[in-house]
Amino acid sequence: MKSKILVTRSKSFSADLPTSLLIRWQAGTRSPLTENECKTTLLDVAALLERAEALVGFCLSFCIPDLKVGAIATSFRTWTKNARNNFRGFNPFMKTIVLISFFPILHTHVVAQQSTVYASVVSTKLFVVGAANPNTGLYYQRPGDDTTWQHTGASRIRAFGVATDLSSKGQIIYIASGNGLHRTTDGGKTWRITTGWETTEVLWVTPDQRNRDVVYIATAYGIYKTTDGCATWKEMNNGLATPSFTPCVIIGHSDPNTLYCASEDGVYVSHDAALTWKRTGFHARNVRVVVQHPNDPKTLFVGTEDNGIYVTHNDGKWWAKTEAGIDHTTFYTITFDPTHPDTMYAGGYVSGVYKSVDGGMSWKRKSNGLEYQTIHSIAVDPTNSGCVYAGTIFGGIYRTENGGESWKSAGLPGAQVYTIIIQPY
């Protein structure tokens, strides 16, 4: 399997190269670059290598989940540093030869993968009886669409969650909705509900990226699991409080048999693929979301209703409240920058967006431009750390291109956006 480097969300690689080099490549010219062209091109190549270095951990975490990504990233960092130093030592003629030789390969592989944004919409405040109303359900946005969104799947459903099978490259998509789990295996051309009539209020879906046949859903009545590609489902509530409202379930990064779920009465963990559940050391009520650190599987954060944000660094045995800089108590979403995991974002009831750059130890509000302050989902573009999306309650989607310093509307006005995910394909 050939690896592909993810570089940018909306710009092709060729747009990042100096015009003089691009013209030479297209015309087949082999004349050396001028000194100024070399300097400009060197900066572009260095930037490309630095972006590739920042993204290698994210890419490998999906391609080879069980490897020690930290060691691989360190080796790649050394390689990129040596490559930049060697390139600086080349004379203008050699720099031209290297760039012209490798550009067709880089152009082919880099442009192939860019990010698609998915957003699940529960309802809209623009509903008018007897009028042509906006759709609810699943929307997606391709690179370069700006504020334009396309609808896919069933219309007029309450879509709470969305997930994709990464290895399918956009062909397998799941929608967690009020009337069950919807699934497509052909990129959205056809859909079907995979759960039975008795399974409703599906709030969250988590496919096992190591095994396509295994999918977990969190519902208003507990956890369900399929091991045969959504053909049949089984209730997996042994050890959970009954009835168990579970808004979130996640699979551990380092062990597919380890799962965590948020519930009305705390955080639960399973070490046997959901056969049994045990309560962690966190006992506060009304947990709305649980997330795991991308590089440290023992570090978890939870967002609660009325109790703020908590963190554990020992797999849930002990928890501490993280509140430096936080003035709000209800949080529906917490997310990491996948390429810089010390950078985190959180949002909740009239909270706007909070940002941390020290791994959640302290927070600052970053809400300039946000006209709607209740945030239900935040997602960071894995190919561009500065690009972050925020899903609001009845305000649609907002986007920042500078890491939260300023926000602007990105479409779906009036929508109650429950979940946003960004997937590079």
SS3 content of the chain, % helix, strand, coil (to 5): 20, 30, 50
Instruction: Note the pLDDT tens digit of each residue in 31-65.
Output: 444 555 454 445 555 555 555 555 555 444 444 44
Reported as a pLDDT band with limits 50, 70 and 90, residue 424 is confident
Q: How far apart are CA 225 and CA 176, in angstroms?
A: 13
What is the distance between the alpha carbons of residues 354 and 297, in angstroms, rounded to a whole number? 23
**pLDDT band at residue 66 under the 50/70/90 scheme:** very low
pTM of the model: 0.77
Q: Name the residue with tokens 């590089």.
A: 295
pLDDT confidence band for 2 (50 / 70 / 90): very low
Cα–Cα nearest to 383, from 41, 57, 14, 40: 57
User: Within 13 Å and on the Cβ side, how many CA atoms surround 151?
Assistant: 13
What pLDDT does residue 16 have?
Answer: 40
CA-nearest of 332, 341, 330, 403 to 366 is 403
Lowest pLDDT segment from 137-151, 287-301, 375-389: 137-151
What would the pLDDT profile of 248-300 be if each residue is shown by its tens digit? 999 999 999 999 999 999 999 999 999 999 999 998 899 999 999 999 999 99
The label of the residue with tokens 């954060």 reads 301
pLDDT at 10 over 50: no
Q: Which run of H or E residues covers position 27? A: helix 19-27
State mean pLDDT over 175-188: 98
- Of 371, 376, 341, 378, the C-alpha closest to 356 is 341
First to last CA, the chain: 15
Question: Is the C-alpha dihedral spanning 54, 423, 289, 333 positive or negative?
Answer: positive
Q: Per mean pLDDT, which range of 8-12, 189-193, 290-294, 384-388 is the poorest?
A: 8-12
Cα–Cα distance for residue pair 202/207, rounded to 1 Å: 14
Q: Which helix (H) or strand (E) segment is 62 a member of?
A: helix 35-63
Residue 63: how many CA atoms within 13 Å on its side-chain side?
16
Q: What is the DSSP string of 95-123?
A: HHHHHHHHHHHHHHHHHT--EEEEEEEEE
DSSP letter at 298 equals T
Q: Do 415 and 124 form a contact (C-beta atoms < 8 A)?
A: yes
Angle ∠(415,410,112) on CA atoms, nearest 5: 115
CA-nearest of 362, 358, 345 to 398 is: 345
Structure tokens at 322: 């993280």
pLDDT for res 319: 98
Q: Which domains does the chain have, with CATH numbers?
A: 13-111 (no CATH), 115-424 (2.130.10.10)
The single-letter DSSP state of residue 13 is G
The pLDDT assigned to 242 comes to 77
Smallest CA-to-CA distance from 117 within 156, 51, 198, 173 is with 173
Q: Are 324 and 357 in contact (CB under 8 A)?
A: no
Distance between CA atoms of residues 370 and 364, nearest Å: 15
In 3D, which of 411, 410, 391 has the Cα closest to residue 399?
410
pLDDT score for 69: 47
pLDDT band at 85 (very low <50, low <70, confident <90, very high): low
Which of 300, 288, 311 has its CA nearest to residue 203?
288
Mean pLDDT across the chain, nearest whole number? 83
User: Which pLDDT value is given to residue 244?
Assistant: 85
What CA–CA distance (Å, rounded) separates 325 from 315? 25
Structure confidence by residue, pLDDT tens digits, 86-116: 655 665 656 555 555 555 544 444 444 578 9
Q: Give 114-132 pLDDT, tens digit per residue.
A: 789 999 999 998 876 776 7
Contact present, 325 and 290 (Cβ < 8 Å): no
- The share of the chain scoring above pLDDT 70, in percent, equals 72
Gyration radius from the chain CA atoms? 23
